[in-house]
Structure 1
Amino acid sequence: MLITFNLVMIGTLLSLFVGGPLGIWAGSSRRVHAVSEVIVTTLQTLPSFVYLVPVVMLLGPGDATAVIAIALYSVATTVRYTDHAIRNVDPTTIEAAVAFGATPLQTFWKVRLPLARPGLMLGLNQTILMCVGMVVITALVGSQGLELETVDAIARVEPGRGLLAGLAISALAIILDRYVGAVAEKLNAPGSPRANSSS
């Protein structure tokens, strides 16, 4: 399970590193938003195994290929949720901050980003779940975790072994989902320092 967990976490970090800034850019610009919507929608309609082909051709099989494929598969979700969170901030609040003399950078860091936090946390949650969903497919390119157990059990027609491996991956997804949800609730709690700083 540790190998699978590492693949999911590293893939999530790569997806956030690429998709986060792109989502913020799309959420701050109508033109970029219009272009990103088309690209993101196209990426989300592609079958998951399609992401493996170009990466395998460039890097060959292995864990690095699996991580990059996971990140590529989930980055569209990161961009979409980040874009949505940034765009859904109340414009009157932004206008008030500007009226009080806040610079664009101050408005972004002190107003827009804190108010977008619930949507950003939801995006993080969905990105992690997309990574978990993709990790099973990466057994086809040589990853060695629970995903390999699942695929190997299917190939050998061993339903019990495959079921156990699948349940372990599901348990990992549930644990990560609950953990991110708990962190989000703590950050958005009325008494938390971050919640107070954004109010």
Structure 2
Amino acid sequence: GEETSLGYGEETSLGYGEETSLGYGEETSLGYGEETSLGYGEETSLGYGEETSLGYGEETSLGYGEETSLGYGEETSLGYGEETSLGYGEETSLGYGEETSLGYGEETSLGYGEETSLGYGEETSLGYGEETSLGYGEETSLGYGEETSLGYGEETSLGYGEETSLGYGEETSLGYGEETSLGYGEKTSLGLSEVCHVV
């Protein structure tokens, strides 16, 4: 390499890179990337990405993504996604999903799901489920179930069950049952009674 500085230098080259700085530099290239900064820099490229920042940067690309920020950024892309934010961002995409937020976001998609929120969100989808919330949400689906809530929810389904509540709920189904309550509920059957039909 040419112009190599491993302290507070400005231009450092490790391998085939140009203008590489591992301190507080501005432009660092590790591999075939251009403009790479691993400190408080603005543009960092790891691999074949463009404009990558791993600090408090604005645009970061890991892989083939565009505009990726892993700090307090606004648009982050991991993989082939668009607009991804892993901090307090608004739209995050992990994989092929759209609009994904893992902080206090509103719409998060992990995989092929739609509208997924893992914080205090309202609609969360894990896998092929619809309307899934793992916080204080109202409707949560884990697997192929419908209406599932694991907090203080009212209707929870684990597996292929229909109405399942594992808190203070009234109708709880574990397996193929219909009405089962394991809290302060009224209709509870764990055997072959009339209220709960165990298939």
TM range (shorter): under 0.3
With a CA cutoff of 8 Å and minimum separation of 6, indicate the structure with the bigger relative contact order.
Answer: 1
Q: TM-score, with normalisation over the residues of structure 1?
A: 0.21
Higher helix share: 1
Would you tell me which structure has more strand in proportion to its own residues? Answer: 2
Larger radius of gyration, structure 1 or 2? 2
